[in-house]
Amino acid sequence: MRLRFNIILFLVFVSVSLAFAQLKQYQAVKKESFITYKLTHPLHEIEATSKESYCAINADAAKKEIKNVMVQVDVTSFNSGNSNRDSHAMETVDAISYPDSRFTSTSVYQEGDSLKIHGKLTFHGVTKDIYIAAVAKWSEKKLIVNGNFDISLTAFKVPRPSLLLIPVEDTLRFTLMQVFNL
């Protein structure tokens, strides 16, 4: 009887171990990855890009499934091509007090290549639930994830900058591409 119990326990342990054996952590390749934000004013649009984000995923490459995501970016790493504008943006988001933005997924839903990533974004010292729509392109050696999401400046307690007394739109739009070597 005891031998039979030990055999069953061993088989359960092996089954569980095999089920999780394919899950592996991957880090995005910085040289190939980026995050861009777009801020809109009635007179013009501002775009700034960071190639300095840190992104890690836990994924099963054999099943082509992403289980969870974590992204962190230094807000001072965004570059719009205009250093005066970037300095003003860093003042607006109080980059000295809140130097990093972080996203951690709480769930990842996948249908084919489409991803719906829900999680917590901490920006400007405020944490909110957000949703990222993304597409995952798997190949034998690479995974490329393209996604986008919007946030409200006022929801994250960021004052809306103005030009000629006209404030920018409240929506800050993000696009991202993260490339992983498998």
User: Under a CB-based contact definition with an 8 Å cutoff, are residues 60 and 67 in contact?
Assistant: yes
| pLDDT classification of 14: cutoffs 50, 70, 90 | very low
Q: Which two tokens stand for residue 140?
A: 């034998």
Which residues lie closer than 8 Å to 121 by C-beta, 6 or more apart?
101, 102, 103, 127, 128, 129, 130, 151
Instruction: Please give the average per-residue pLDDT across 129-148, as a whole number.
Output: 97
pLDDT at res. 162: 83
CATH entry 2.40.128.110 includes domain 23-181: yes
Per-residue pLDDT reduced to its tens digit, 71-120:
999 999 999 999 999 998 999 999 999 999 999 999 999 999 999 999 99
Integer Cα distance of 48 and 86 in angstroms? 8
pLDDT surpasses 80 at 9 = no
Q: Indicate the domain borders of the chain.
A: 23-181
pTM confidence score: 0.84
pLDDT at res. 175: 98
Integer Cα distance of 30 and 51 in angstroms? 6
Instruction: Please give the average per-residue pLDDT across 7-24, as a whole number.
Output: 57
Q: Which residue has the higher pLDDT, 164 or 107?
A: 107
Integer Cα distance of 102 and 76 in angstroms? 14
Per-residue pLDDT reduced to its tens digit, 21-66:
589 999 999 999 999 999 998 888 999 999 999 999 999 999 999 9
User: Under a CB-based contact definition with an 8 Å cutoff, are residues 176 and 147 in contact?
Assistant: yes
Nearest to 64 by CA among 11, 122, 143, 6: 143
pLDDT at res. 145: 98
pLDDT at res. 105: 98
Which residues lie closer than 8 Å to 89 by C-beta, 6 or more apart?
48, 78, 80, 161
